[in-house]
């Protein structure tokens, strides 16, 4: 007899609840709906302030937060994303957005762990020409 388990989804976003913005609201709404449908959802994000709980459950969604640097800029260099993703296995890793260092770190961690992943390109761009080129740098990662 085959054993079954609930689908396990890791959503990785630079920022998530309680922060508010387009991507943050998308992640909050989709993750809650998935959890209500029986999906085991974890949202992994960063906390520049280091004042939010490292781990909590909100409306059936497990939230993990790791520190990011530098605090005064929106680069979000967060090596803790990679390490957190090595703690467990998910059926799919869904990275949200592309304007920071979080998605490349998460995609690399998923690739190294052999977990399937997808990247959703949210947003209309960034004021920095260098940052707008980031989607092209992310595309070199092999498709899962």
| 29 touches 59 (CB < 8 A) | no
Domains of the chain: 8-138 (3.40.50.2000)
Residue 140 has pLDDT above 70, yes or no: no
Element (H, E) at 92: strand 92-96
Q: What is the pLDDT of residues 67-109, one digit of tens each?
A: 999 988 889 999 999 999 999 999 999 999 888 999 999 999 9
**Going edge to edge, which strands form the sheet with 61-67?**
55-58, 61-67, 40-47, 8-13, 92-96, 117-120
Note the pTM of the prediction, 2 decimals: 0.84
Integer Cα distance of 109 and 113 in angstroms: 6
Would you give the DSSP letter of residue 38? T
| 6 touches 40 (CB < 8 A) | yes
Paired sense of beta strands 92-96 and 117-120, if any: parallel
């Amino acid at each position: 007899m085959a054993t079954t388990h609930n689908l396990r989804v890791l959503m990785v976003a630079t920022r998530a609840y309680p922060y508010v913005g387009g991507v943050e609201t998308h992640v909050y709404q989709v993750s809650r709906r998935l959890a209500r449908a029986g999906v085991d959802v974890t949202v992994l994000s960063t906390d520049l302030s280091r004042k939010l709980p490292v781990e909590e459950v909100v409306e059936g969604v497990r939230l993990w937060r790791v520190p990011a640097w530098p605090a005064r800029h929106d680069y979000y260099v967060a090596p803790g994303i990679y390490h957190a993703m090595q703690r467990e296995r998910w059926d799919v890793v869904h990275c949200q957005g592309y304007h920071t260092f979080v998605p490349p770190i998460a995609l690399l961690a998923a690739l190294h762990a052999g977990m399937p992943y997808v990247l959703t390109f949210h947003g209309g761009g960034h004021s920095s020409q260098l940052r707008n080129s980031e989607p092209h740098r992310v595309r070199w990662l092999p498709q899962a």
